[in-house]
C-alpha cells in the first residue's frame, strides 16, 4: 500500500496513482508500466487515518507492507497531521504488516537522523539517500535486525547496485554527516524556513493572492491559489499558471527555485536571514498580472 501522490523511486509496482475512491486498485502512472505491474498495489489518500482504517478492514490480511513518506515531499512539503504516523503504526502492528518510511528526501535534511524519529514514529524499515552521499548517487535501507538478516549474504534476498558503496559518495556523505548534530544546523534551518513561508504568505495575501506555506526543518513549500492542503487532492487545486509567473519573476531576479509548484524547497546551511529577506523583497515586487513569454 502507498499514498496518493507518494513517489518512491522508479519501481514499477509503486509508479501508481489513485482514482476517486477511498482506496483504489492502482493504475499505472507512467507509460510502459503495465497494469499487471501495479495490480497488487493499493493507493490511499495521505493524511487520512479513516481511509487507512477502512482499507485495512477490507484487505488487512493481504497487505504485506505500507510505504509512506512521513512528510510528503513529492506533492510539495505536506507534514503529517497529528497522530497520523502513530495510527499507521498501530494498524500495521494489528494486521502484521510492515511499515516502511521513505526518507530519501527528508532523512538528515528535515531533521537530524530521520523525521520518523523526531516525530515519534516507529517504523520497521527506513530508506535513506541524497544527503548521506553528499548529493552523489547513493541509497541505503535500515531496519530491525530480524528483517535485515533476510538480505544476502545472511539471507536469501539479493540486493546490489553499481553505485553501492562508491568511495566518492561515502567520503562525501561522511564529511557532511560529521558536521551535523541534533541542534545545529537544524534550529537555524527551521528558523529560516519559517521566516520564508510566513513572510511570503503575508506578502501574497496583501496582494490578494491566496497562499499556503508549509515547512518542517529546512524543508518548505509555498502553495499559490489555495489556503490549506493536507493531501494530494487539496494540493491539486493549487494554481500552477500563477506559480509559473512567480517562478519566472524570481528567476529573472537571481533567485532559483524548483520549477514546479509540487517540488519542495530546501533551505541550506549556506543561506542566511539576509538571503531570505532578499527573497521576500523580490517577491514583494512581483506583479501576478504581468505576462511573460
Q: Which residues are catalytic?
A: 7, 102, 130
Cα-flanking dihedrals φ and ψ of residue 238, to 5°? Answer: -65, 150
Q: How far is the CA of 144 from the CAs of 100, 133, 151, 288, in angstroms?
A: 11, 23, 12, 51
DSSP state of 167: H
Which three cell numbers mark 165?
Answer: 558503496
Q: How far is the CA of 229 from the CAs of 212, 216, 234, 236, 255, in angstroms?
A: 8, 15, 5, 9, 25
Please name the residue ranges forming H helices in the chain: 49-59, 84-95, 115-118, 145-148, 167-177, 186-206, 232-235, 240-252, 273-284
Residue 166 backbone class (left: φ over 0; alpha: ψ -120 to 50; beta: rest): beta
Which pairing describes strands 98-102 and 125-129: parallel, antiparallel, or unpaired?
parallel
Helix axes 186-206, 273-284, angle to 10 degrees: 10
Cβ atoms within 10 Å, residue 95? 15
Return d(Cα 174, Cα 127) in angstroms, integer.
17
Amino acid at each position: 500500500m502507498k499514498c496518493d501522490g507518494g513517489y518512491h523511486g522508479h519501481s514499477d509496482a509503486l509508479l501508481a496513482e489513485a482514482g476517486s475512491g477511498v482506496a483504489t486498485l492502482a493504475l499505472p502512472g507512467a507509460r510502459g508500466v503495465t497494469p499487471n505491474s501495479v495490480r497488487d498495489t493499493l493507493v490511499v489518500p495521505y493524511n487520512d487515518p479513516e481511509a487507512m482504517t477502512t482499507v485495512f478492514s477490507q484487505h488487512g490480511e493481504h497487505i504485506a507492507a505500507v510505504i509512506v513518506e512521513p512528510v510528503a515531499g513529492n506533492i510539495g512539503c505536506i507534514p503529517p497531521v497529528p497522530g497520523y504516523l502513530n495510527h499507521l503504526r498501530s494498524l500495521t502492528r494489528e494486521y502484521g504488516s510492515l511499515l516502511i518510511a521513505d526518507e530519501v528526501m527528508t532523512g538528515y535534511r528535515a531533521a537530524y537522523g530521520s523525521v520518523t524519529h523526531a516525530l515519534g514514529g516507529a517504523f520497521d524499515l527506513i530508506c535513506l539517500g541524497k544527503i548521506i552521499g553528499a548529493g552523489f548517487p547513493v541509497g541505503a535501507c535500515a531496519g530491525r535486525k530480524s528483517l535485515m538478516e533476510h538480505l544476502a549474504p545472511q539471507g536469501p534476498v539479493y540486493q546490489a547496485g553499481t553505485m553501492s558503496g562508491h568511495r566518492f559518495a561515502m567520503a562525501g556523505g561522511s564529511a557532511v554527516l560529521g558536521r551535523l548534530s541534533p541542534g545545529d544546523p537544524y534550529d537555524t534551518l527551521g528558523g529560516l524556513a519559517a521566516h520564508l513561508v510566513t513572510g511570503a504568505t503575508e506578502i501574497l495575501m496583501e496582494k490578494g493572492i491566496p497562499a499556503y506555506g508549509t515547512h518542517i526543518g529546512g524543508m518548505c513549500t509555498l502553495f499559490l491559489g489555495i489556503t490549506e492542503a493536507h493531501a494530494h487532492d487539496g494540493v491539486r487545486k493549487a494554481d500552477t499558471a500563477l506559480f509559473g509567473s512567480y517562478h519566472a519573476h524570481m528567476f529573472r531576479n537571481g533567485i532559483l527555485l524548483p520549477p514546479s509548484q509540487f517540488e519542495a524547497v530546501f533551505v541550506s546551511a549556506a543561506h542566511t536571514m539576509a538571503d531570505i529577506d532578499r527573497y521576500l523583497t523580490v517577491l514583494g515586487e512581483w506583479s501576478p498580472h504581468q505576462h511573460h513569454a
